[in-house]
Amino acid sequence: MSAPTVVVGTIGSDAHVIGVTLLKHALEEAGFEVRNLGAQTSPESFVAEADETDADAILVSSLYGHAEQDCEGLHERLADAGVDPVTYIGGNLAVGQTEFEVVRQRFREMGFDRVFETEADLDAVVDVLQSELRVDEQVSRSVRASL
Ligand code: B12
């Protein structure tokens, strides 16, 4: 079975690449095939890369406080392209001191499967992603088996 493919990058005009670089290393160490789009990646580029690589997941990073505007339309574009990866977002997702639960709720409404704050433990994130993709695989297997 080939390694799951994950697309990572910072979205919009965000130039903070240190977190996403650590994320890339953590994912690679866990055996993922990682496409790192680096800093200041447009939603269109995330979608194009996910489409081209048939990605299992997209992990978006944003630190500078404008993630909500930058992620506008991302999930609609994914749907238009006919791709359905798991989507996570993490970092410093709002300007100032907004309570994290409010932030999480907002990004969940926008379509993200999971939302992480800056204190997120990357090993734990990798574990969650691994089990999520395994579950998906089991689900699709059982669906295929029932056909
Ligand atoms: C270094 C830095 C910069 C550098 C970035 C260099 C680079 N190329 O990466 C420079 C000087 C360029 C910069 C610029 C700016 N910055 Co700055 N920067 C920082 C700083 C000091 C550290 C960020 C960092 O690298 N941390 C280390 C890494 C390892 O931590 P991390 O990024 O948080 O990533 C971890 C987690 O968040 C998580 N994570 C990150 N992404 C994801 C994604 C997923 C899916 C998951 C699961 C987890 C995850 O995993 C990482 C490991 O634990 C922070 C303050 C701080 N202490 O955080 C401010 C900070 C992020 N910057 C800030 C701001 C405002 C700016 C500017 C707008 C300033 C300005 N007016 O010009 C610009 C924006 C430029 C741009 N276009 O993005 C603010 C953001 C405020 C907000 N969100 O409310 C901060 C918080 C400073 C502050 N307290 O005001 N910055």
Relative to the CA of 121, which ligand 1 atom is closest? 53
Domains, the chain, with CATH or none: 5-142 (3.40.50.280)
* Distance from residue 1's CA to the centre of ligand 1 (Å): 36
**In the block, residue with structure tokens 């379509």:** 111
Length of the chain in residues, anyone?
Answer: 147
C-alpha 46/C-alpha 36 separation (Å) is 10
pLDDT in 10s for each residue of the chain, 147 residues: 679 999 999 999 999 999 999 999 999 999 999 999 999 999 999 999 999 999 999 999 999 999 999 999 999 999 999 999 999 999 999 988 889 999 999 999 999 999 999 999 999 999 999 999 985 555 544 444 544
pTM strictly above 0.85: yes
CB 13 less than 6 A from any atom of ligand 1: yes
Looking at ligand 1, which residue's alpha carbon is closest to its atom 15? 64
Kindly report the protein residue whose alpha carbon is nearest to atom 85 of ligand 1: 64
β-bridge mates for residue 114, sequence order: 88
